[in-house]
C-alpha cells in the first residue's frame, strides 16, 4: 500500500564506507605540527609547544607574561601538604598550558586575551586543592583556601589584587594605635615593610591532602596564610618606583643553588708558602711487598691458583 523510496541527498544515498565527517566542514581549525622548543633558558625548559602556541607565547612575552615553569617553590612557606610556588612576574597557570602545547585548541586566543587584560593587576594568585577526589570536595577545599587567603591579604593591608590599601582619614588613629601596641609587645614590623606599595608577581598555593585540609580549623588556616603573606612581602614586595622593598636577596627556597663555594661547605683558599699536608701524600708500599719484575713476584691469576678441595686436607708444598 505504501512504497518507501530513498530521498535524493538523504542518508540512504550515502555510501557505507565513507566516514560521516567527510560531509562536514572543518570549522576553520588549522592543524599545526609540534615543534621541540630548545632549552636556551630556564623559562621554557623542555616543553613542546605547537607552532601556533609558540607564537602566542611570544606575544605574551611581549607583555612580560612568562610560562608556568618560572615559578619556584618557597620551601619555608610550606605547611603539611600545602605547597607554595612564587614567581617574580606574571605567569601562565598550570591548567592553561595545555592550550599552548596541544593542537587545535579553540580557546587559545581567548585565554591570551584574558591574560593580557589581567596584566594590570599586580598580584596573580591561585589556591587549588589538587587531589583525587570528587569535584564537589575539591571545590569546597579550594573555596576555604580562597577565603582564608583573601582575608590574610586584607588583614595585612592589601586588596585582593595585591595593592596597598589607603588608610581612610578616620582610621589613621586606629592604625597608629595598633602599630604602637605591636612595638610594646616587641613584634613591630620592619621599616621596609611600610615602603611596600604592592605585591607584584605570581603565587600558586596548592594542597594535596583532602583529609588534612578539611580537618584543619579555619582559624588555623587564617593564621597560616597570614604567615604566607608576610613571606610574600619578602619575595614580591615592591615600592612605588617598582624596586624590591626587602633588603638583600630573595629568600625563595627554590632558587638556584650557590655554587661559588666547593661542595664541602667551606671556601678553602691556598695560603702562599704553605706546605701541603704530609698525610695527603701517597704512602710508599710496605717493605715486604714483592715487586712485579722479581722472580715469582707476578700476581697469581685465577688459572694459576691452586684449587682447594674441601673434602680432604690441603697438602703442604
Break the chain into its structural domains and give their ranges: 30-167+192-238
Cβ partners under 8 Å of residue 204, min gap 6: 71, 84, 85, 93, 94, 125, 126, 128
Q: What does DSSP assign to residue 164?
A: B
**Length in residues, the chain:** 317
- Residue 73 and residue 256: Cα distance in Å, rounded? 11
CATH 3.40.50.2000 assigned to 30-167+192-238: no
- Residue 168 and residue 115: Cα distance in Å, rounded? 32
Range among 14-18, 48-52, 213-217, 264-268 rated most confident: 213-217
235 closest CA partner among 223, 225, 245, 226 = 245
pLDDT at 41 over 80: no
The confidence band for 180, taking pLDDT boundaries of 50, 70 and 90, is low
Q: Which of 96-105, 142-151, 177-186 has the lowest mean pLDDT?
A: 177-186
Cβ partners under 8 Å of residue 12, min gap 6: 6
The per-residue pLDDT for 119 is 94
More confident residue, 252 or 170: 170
- Residue 183 and residue 170: Cα distance in Å, rounded? 22
The per-residue pLDDT for 61 is 94
Cβ partners under 8 Å of residue 244, min gap 6: 237, 238, 250
The per-residue pLDDT for 282 is 52
The per-residue pLDDT for 147 is 96
Q: What does DSSP assign to residue 312?
A: S
Q: What does DSSP assign to residue 72?
A: E
Q: How many CB atoms lie within 10 A of CB 195?
A: 15
Residue 242 zone, left/alpha/beta (φ > 0; ψ -120 to 50; rest): left
- Residue 61 and residue 49: Cα distance in Å, rounded? 14
Cβ partners under 8 Å of residue 193, min gap 6: 233, 237, 245
The per-residue pLDDT for 313 is 57
- Residue 212 and residue 129: Cα distance in Å, rounded? 11
Helices (H), 45-134: 51-62, 98-101, 108-117
Q: Cell numbers of 190, please?
A: 620592619
pLDDT at 51 over 90: no
Cβ partners under 8 Å of residue 104, min gap 6: 29, 30, 31
Mean pLDDT of 135-164: 94
Model confidence pTM above 0.85: no
Coil, strand or helix at 99: helix
- Residue 5 and residue 216: Cα distance in Å, rounded? 71
pLDDT at 199 over 90: yes
pLDDT at 65 over 70: yes
Amino acid at each position: 500500500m505504501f512504497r518507501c523510496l530513498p530521498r535524493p541527498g538523504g542518508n540512504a544515498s550515502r555510501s557505507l564506507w565513507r566516514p560521516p565527517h567527510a560531509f562536514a566542514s572543518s570549522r576553520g581549525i588549522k592543524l599545526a605540527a609540534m615543534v621541540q622548543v630548545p632549552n636556551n633558558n630556564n623559562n621554557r625548559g623542555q616543553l613542546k609547544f605547537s607552532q601556533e602556541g609558540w607564537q602566542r607565547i611570544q606575544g605574551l612575552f611581549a607583555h612580560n607574561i612568562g610560562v608556568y615553569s618560572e615559578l619556584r617553590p618557597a620551601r619555608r612557606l610550606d605547611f603539611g601538604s600545602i605547597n607554595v610556588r612564587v614567581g617574580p612576574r606574571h605567569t601562565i597557570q598550570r591548567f592553561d598550558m595545555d592550550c599552548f602545547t596541544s593542537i587545535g585548541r579553540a580557546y587559545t586566543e581567548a585565554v591570551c586575551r584574558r591574560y593580557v587584560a589581567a596584566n594590570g593587576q599586580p598580584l596573580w594568585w591561585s589556591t587549588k586543592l589538587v587531589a583525587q577526589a570528587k569535584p564537589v570536595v575539591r571545590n569546597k577545599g579550594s573555596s576555604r583556601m580562597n577565603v582564608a587567603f583573601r582575608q590574610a591579604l586584607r588583614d595585612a593591608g592589601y586588596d585582593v589584587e595585591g595593592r596597598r590599601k589607603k588608610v581612610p582619614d578616620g582610621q589613621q588613629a586606629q592604625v597608629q594605635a595598633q602599630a604602637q601596641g605591636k612595638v610594646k609587645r616587641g613584634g613591630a614590623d620592619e621599616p621596609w615593610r611600610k615602603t611596600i606599595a604592592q605585591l607584584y608577581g605570581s603565587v600558586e598555593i596548592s594542597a594535596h591532602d583532602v583529609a588534612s585540609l578539611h580537618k584543619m580549623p579555619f582559624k588555623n588556616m587564617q593564621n597560616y596564610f597570614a604567615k604566607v603573606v608576610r613571606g610574600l612581602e619578602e619575595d614580591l614586595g615592591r615600592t612605588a618606583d617598582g624596586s624590591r622593598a626587602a633588603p638583600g636577596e630573595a629568600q625563595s627556597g627554590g632558587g638556584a643553588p650557590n655554587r661559588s663555594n666547593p661542595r664541602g661547605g667551606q671556601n678553602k683558599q691556598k695560603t702562599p708558602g704553605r706546605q701541603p699536608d704530609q698525610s695527603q701524600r701517597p704512602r710508599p708500599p710496605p717493605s715486604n711487598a714483592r715487586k712485579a719484575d722479581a722472580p715469582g713476584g707476578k700476581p697469581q691469576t685465577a688459572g694459576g691458583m691452586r684449587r682447594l678441595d674441601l673434602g680432604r686436607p690441603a697438602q703442604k708444598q
